[in-house]
């Protein structure tokens, strides 16, 4: 699905820089970007590019990576996690 966003840092980099979303600020620029994005959505090349990027950068992939980092940090500080281990903030 084509996306148009204002210039939010986390959207501009990497999505805007890679041409996966259109970035626009202001009403007339936003309207023009919407027209371009709708044309993009009909392009097999654009769809393939977006699909390839998102396959490795979905929320599931991001969540799994973040969870592994948190668990590794806990293991480094407190030893192996058990099934009943609970993370405690501030320890």
For 32-75, what is each residue's pLDDT tens digit? 999 998 887 778 888 899 889 888 887 888 899 999 999 899 88
What average pLDDT does the structure give for the chain? Answer: 86
* pLDDT (average), residues 13-41: 92
Burial tier of 12 (Cβ tally within 10 Å: 0-12, 13-18, 19+)? middle
Residue 57: the pLDDT is 81
Residue 91: the pLDDT is 46
d(CA 91, CA 88): 6
* pTM for the whole structure: 0.61
* pLDDT (average), residues 23-29: 96
Task: Quote the radius of gyration of the chain (alpha carbons, Å).
Answer: 19
């Amino acid at each position: 699905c084509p996306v148009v966003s204002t210039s939010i840092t986390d959207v501009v980099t990497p999505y805007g820089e890679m041409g996966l979303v259109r970035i626009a600020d202001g009403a007339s620029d936003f309207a023009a970007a919407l027209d371009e994005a709708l044309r993009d959505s009909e392009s097999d090349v654009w769809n393939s590019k977006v699909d390839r990027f998102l396959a490795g950068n979905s929320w599931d992939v991001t969540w799994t990576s973040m969870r592994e980092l948190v668990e590794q940090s806990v293991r480094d500080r407190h030893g192996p996690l058990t099934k009943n281990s609970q993370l405690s903030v501030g320890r």
